[in-house]
Amino acid sequence: MTNVITILLVDDEVAIRDGLKHLLQWEKFGFHIVGEAENGKIALDKIIELQPDIVITDLIMPELDGLELSKIIQEQFPQIHFLVLSSYDEFTYVSESFKNGAVDYLLKPTLTKENLLTALNKIATKLAATKATVSEEEVLSQTLNRYLVGYKETDLSPVANFLTYDCYQLVYTNTIWYQDRDNLQRVLNELTFDNTLIKSLAYATSNDEAGLLLAFRNVQPNSQTMLMKKLYSLRQIEAGSFFTLSEPFFQINQLKKTFSQLKAGTKEQRFYFKHHFIVEFNELYMLKQRERFDTKKFLRAILNNDFLLGIVRIEEFFNEMILSFSSASDLKQQASNIFYTLLSSLEEAYPHEDSFSKLKTYFLNQIGKMSYLEDFSALILTMNDQIRQILQQQNPRLDIKENELITSIERYIRDNYQSDLSLARLAEEFHFSYNYLSSFFSAHFKMTFSDYLNTVRLEAARKLLLTSNDNLSEISVAAGYSDLSYFSRLFKREYHVTPSVYRRENRL
């Protein structure tokens, strides 16, 4: 255990900060400077990250001055003591700072080692009654925090010595996913392991990053399962908790690279893992760049007031985006833009129907709250279904358009089955995506496109066998099959006899 009082220096003048650092042999008197900041705004980040015992701050600074900083410290960090650096002409500021809880003030022109030490010892006395000795783990966690946020001069050797073992894994999470960040940190700090096998060190940076640095005596093939058990209680309280686990690495100097990769790889991944709260790095998805929405086809449908076709375009677009693992932000942004355009057009087309305005407000309010893919997909489906229902109530004849589409597809297939017809060609003809048309076929024809095409072709072949004198090869080609043996196999599978037997037994 180490009795140490930590200090953060805040002044916009580098010379003042450097002078303070060299004015005392800080450690000799039981103090340790953990960081510095050039203004109050940066100081707040440092305070969150480093949790100093004392803040020594100037009053007149850019961004956020010392007076405002002192108010925030008093309100949000009452356990932190602070003293003020001031000039002779800042008495009003100094008076206000005492109202905000300043312990003492120092005049820059007359600052000496002795009066600085006197002021610090005054604070140390106040701390003595309440301050517990800082554990080695806490000191090392602060070191780890500094290193992870980019302090290149940070020496990691004490961290490596403490962890003992040299098979490392990093656990990462983002604190914005948690309702109670303090509880998250408590859980991470209080996790216990068998120290003969595993040692750990918690971290929590000012950039909303938190987690554990684990060190194993041997490579652990089941570290994910072990962590799931350890963090299960947190998951019960924080349903949105989500952790990623790095691949093992064996040099402490690989920590920053591993951390950067894990942080970048975790971005927007939680969206795809509603039912998993600890995921290994190699299980993360490779999120794709934004797919291009076919705006021309969509707007053409809207301008023609063919809103049902517009909904079809939306469905096929989002099906493709989801299957390609687009980022959550792209999905939400695209959905906001597309549904805003659609619903605004519907408001204009149906000025006496207020449901579209309500739907638009509801959707734009909800889309940003969608934390997971399942919820996002459900919202899109619900919106499309509700829009369809309202449209059909407004115009019952809209159902006819879908029936007309089915009829048109059937007619096209029957007119072209003899040629090299494919689903891709059909999709191009009717201006649908391949995936959407495949789903459409399954939903409305209760079979795949290939099965439907074979049904049409075999029925045509059956009729030719009964009514023409063409040989089997000619009938095969006429039905759309260039391979006679393939045609014969399909025919027998459908009618349970070969084409020649069928002709002989059924022809009059």
Q: How far is residue 67's CA from residue 61's CA, in Å, rounded to a whole number?
A: 9
Which secondary-structure segment (H or E) carries 172?
A: strand 167-174
Chain mean position to CA 324: 15
Whole-number pLDDT of residue 301? 60
Q: How far is residue 406's CA from residue 372's CA, in Å, rounded to a whole number?
A: 34
Whole-number pLDDT of residue 473? 92
Question: Taking the CA of residue 289 as centre, how many other CA atoms within 13 Å lie in the half-sphere pointing to its CB?
Answer: 1
Residue closest to 220 by CA, chosen among 201, 242, 247: 247
pTM: 0.57
> Do 5-128 and 136-283 share a fold?
no
Within a 10 A sphere around the Cβ of 439, how many other Cβ atoms?
15
**Would you list the domain boundaries of the chain?**
5-128, 136-283, 295-396, 404-506
Q: How far is residue 325's CA from residue 310's CA, in Å, rounded to a whole number?
A: 23
SS (H, E, C) 135-155: CHHHHHHHHHHHHHCCCCCCC
Q: What is the DSSP letter of 134?
A: B
CATH number of 136-283: 3.30.70
Q: How far is residue 201's CA from residue 188's CA, in Å, rounded to a whole number?
A: 9
Whole-number pLDDT of residue 89? 55
- Inter-residue contact 502 to 458 (CB < 8 Å): no
Query: 404-506 belongs to which CATH class?
Result: mainly alpha
Q: What is the DSSP letter of 170?
A: E
Assigned token pair, 235: 């998951």
Q: How far is residue 152's CA from residue 143's CA, in Å, rounded to a whole number?
A: 11
Assigned token pair, 59: 């009053």
At residue 322, the 3 state secondary structure works out as helix
Residue closest to 391 by CA, chosen among 306, 313, 316: 306
Q: How far is residue 60's CA from residue 39's CA, in Å, rounded to a whole number?
A: 9
Token pair 């045609």 in the structure block, residue: 487
- Inter-residue contact 157 to 140 (CB < 8 Å): no
Residue closest to 472 by CA, chosen among 435, 452, 498, 497: 498
Q: How far is CA 232 from CA 236, 237, 238, 267, in A?
A: 7, 9, 10, 22
Whole-number pLDDT of residue 1? 43
Per-residue pLDDT of the chain (508 residues; tens, 9 = 90+): 456 889 999 998 888 888 888 888 888 888 899 889 999 889 888 888 888 889 998 888 888 877 788 777 776 777 788 888 877 555 555 555 454 445 567 778 888 899 889 889 888 887 775 555 557 788 888 889 888 988 777 789 999 999 999 899 999 999 999 988 888 988 898 888 888 889 999 998 878 899 999 999 887 777 888 888 888 888 888 889 999 999 999 999 999 999 999 999 999 999 999 999 999 999 999 887 665 666 666 666 665 666 777 787 788 788 878 777 888 998 898 899 889 988 988 888 788 888 999 999 999 999 999 999 999 999 999 998 898 888 878 765 555 456 777 888 888 999 999 998 999 888 888 777 777 678 778 877 888 899 999 999 999 998 898 888 899 999 999 999 989 999 999 999 988 999 999 888 887 5
**Radius of gyration for the alpha carbons in the chain, expressed in angstroms and rounded:** 35
Q: How far is residue 468's CA from residue 479's CA, in Å, rounded to a whole number?
A: 13
**Residue type for position 344:** S
Superfamily of domain 5-128: Response regulator (3.40.50.2300)
For CA atoms 293, 297, 300, 305, give the dihedral sign: negative
Alpha-helix residue ranges (DSSP H) falling in 57-112: 66-76, 91-99
